[in-house]
Structure 1
């Protein structure tokens, strides 16, 4: 049976590349975009309207989705954007908008799909995160915090969904040559003490992204997860990400094993 795969943010970046690849491989692909009519004629897969920062949009989208398909096999959370700015210069209302999309938008959409996955007793949730979900970088404090939040949320969700045969995976690139830079919003602070530092950070990040992984590398990791239905939670992309996760994974795997054992033996 052909798998049906839902990909958010499928009109650009990793989402678009992944959707095109899977569509050409014969999967039933449904993508989302805030402006599907603008892109539908340019792609071969179905695009539905979704603004993940808007709860009413998620509710309407979910209803439309399951009027379109009878079964969903994979959800790929790819939608999001990057907020840059020195922490002290970033107003809370700007930071909250970042969380409304990157964190709450992803969480709310996932939760809207879960009743269908539970009913099926199967499903796979793949979320495109970042190695910044484990480390911090300057001039990206709120973006980094949103990725840390996603990591924590899906770590916990994974325990809860294992009983329903629902897999939870995170994909964690470090630097990649994608259009994320074009989808970046700056907090535009103007504290003089930070001006020179910001120039140095911007130069470092620009160089790192130019030397980063090709977007195809990220897409291949996601495709492999779909093909194998892997239960591996963390899936780094690139040497830097793999090194960081190597240092992190040993301690977490011990903790995870202890939690599983404790829950099963609890009375």
Structure 2
């Protein structure tokens, strides 16, 4: 019996790539999008409407989903977006919107589906986090905070769900080529004291996106977790991820100076 896998945010970015690969590998894939009609007949898997920032949408989606399937093996939490901007220049309101989707939306959807997983006494929850959920970089404070929050929440949840044979994993990609930068929301507040630093960060960020690797390693990591009987909780992905995490934990001043050197040398 083929596994049924739900991938949120499956109309673009990592979600689309992961859903396509799972479909090619013979899994029964269901994706979500805020505007599924826009992609009608363009994708090889079924796409259902879901806005994870809307409570009503989450509830109605779960009802629709389980009117069409009787078993869900894997939930892949992928839907989200990037708020970009220096911390002090980003409004709290914009920060709240970031959390409403990236954190609260992910949690609310997961909680809506947990009764079905518990009833099955089986399942996997794989959440696409970010290396920025484990470290911090300039210009992405709220995005990083939302990903850190997901790490903390699912670290606790994994213990509570183990009794139901529900496995919980986080995938933490470094910077890879997707459309996350194109779809980012950028803050518009400008404080003169940050003018030079803001320009340097903008150039640094563009270079990072331009030189980013293709997303294949992330897709492969997700598929590996899907196939594993007892996957690990953390799955950092990307060249240098282990070194970066080690430096931040055990040699923070080296990590900090390395980042600032790269930012200051961007112009």
1:53-80 residue CA offsets vs partner (Å, 9 max, x unmatched): 0011000000000001000000000100
- Note the 1:137-152 alignment, pairs <5 A: 137-152=137-152
Shift of 1:44: 0.9
Q: How does 1:216-227 map to 2 (within 5 A)?
A: 216-227=216-227
Q: Which residue of 2 aligns with 1:31?
A: 31
Q: Is the 8 A contact 1:236 1:245 kept in 2?
A: no
Instruction: Flag structure 2 segments of 5+ consecutive residues without an equivalent.
Output: 251-267
Deviation digits for residues 192-215 of structure 1 (CA, Å, limit 9, x no counterpart): 111221111111122122222311
Q: 2:131, 2:172 within 8 Å by CA — same for their partners in 1?
A: yes
| Structure 1: runs of 5 or more not aligned | 251-267
Task: Give the distance between the partners of 2:125 and 2:183, measured in 1 at CA.
Answer: 24
| Aligned-partner Cα distance in 1 for 2:10–2:67 | 20
- Distance in 1 (alpha carbons) for counterparts of 2:169 and 2:181: 24
Contact 1:132 1:147 (C-alpha < 8 Å) held by counterparts: yes
Partner Cα distance (1:73, 1:244) in 2: 33
Q: Secondary structure at the match of 2:40?
A: helix
- Asked if 2 retains the 8 angstrom alpha-carbon contact of 1:128 and 1:170, the reply is yes
TM-score (norm 2): 0.90
Q: Deviations over 1:153-172 (max 9, x none)?
A: 00000111111110001001
CA distance in 1, matches of 2:248, 2:84: 26
Aligned to 2:257: none
Give the match for residue 191 of structure 2: 191
Cα drift, residue 246 of structure 1: 5.1
Q: Indicate if the aligned counterparts of 2:135 and 2:245 stay in contact, CA closer than 8 A.
A: no
| 3-state DSSP of counterpart to 2:180 | helix
Show the counterpart of 2:126: 126
Cα pair 1:124 1:229 within 8 Å, conserved: no
Q: How does 1:1-267 map to 2 (within 5 A)?
A: 1-245=1-245
Return 6-15 or 189-198, whichever deviates more: 189-198
- Note closer, same or farther for the CA distance 1:25–1:50 as it changes in structure 2 (3 Å cut): same
Take 1:65 and 1:6, find their aligned partners in 2: how far apart are those partners? 9
Q: Secondary structure at the match of 1:137?
A: coil
Q: Secondary structure at the match of 2:58?
A: helix
SS at match of 2:231: coil
Answer whether contact 1:172 1:241 (CA < 8 A) is retained. Answer: no
Q: Determine the C-alpha separation between the residues in 2 that align with 1:63 and 1:242.
A: 41
The CA distance in 2 between the partners of 1:76 and 1:2, in whole Å, is: 16
Check 1:205–1:194 CA distance in 2 against 1; reply closer, same or farther (3 A cut). same
Instruction: Provide the alpha-carbon RMSD of the alignment.
Output: 1.5
Q: 1:156 to 1:249 in 2, by over 3 A?
A: farther
* Number of corresponding residues: 250
The farther-off stretch of 96-105 and 186-195 is 186-195
Q: CA deviation at 1:249?
A: 9.2
Runs of 4+ in 1 over 6 A off after TM superposition: 247-250
Tell me, in whole angstroms, the C-alpha distance in 2 between the residues paired with 1:244 and 1:190: 30
